[in-house]
Amino acid sequence: MSKAIALTKEYTLPTIKTVYNSVCSYFDIEDCRTSQLWLFGTAGVASVFVLFTVLINMMI
């Protein structure tokens, strides 16, 4: 007796700019470029190290 509920609103993924602005707003570094560089640079370097390690491990 249950009816299927149709979703009327489509879900879209947020854009990179929206996520970037949300993260900057959360850490309250919207106007501080050096803090943004430290935050995103550190996360970027860590991600590259992990990716590089996985790729090397797959080759061995």
Angstrom distances, CA of residue 23 to CA of 8, 28, 33: 29, 8, 13
| Position 58 confidence tier, pLDDT thresholds 50, 70, 90 | very high
Q: What is the pLDDT of residue 11?
A: 77
- In which residue are the tokens 């009816």 written? 3
Pairwise CA distance, residues 59 & 48, whole Å:
17
Tell me the pTM.
0.63
The dihedrals phi and psi of 49, each to the nearest 5 degrees, come to -60, -45
| Cβ partners under 8 Å of residue 21, min gap 6 | 30
Confidence (pLDDT) at 12: 84
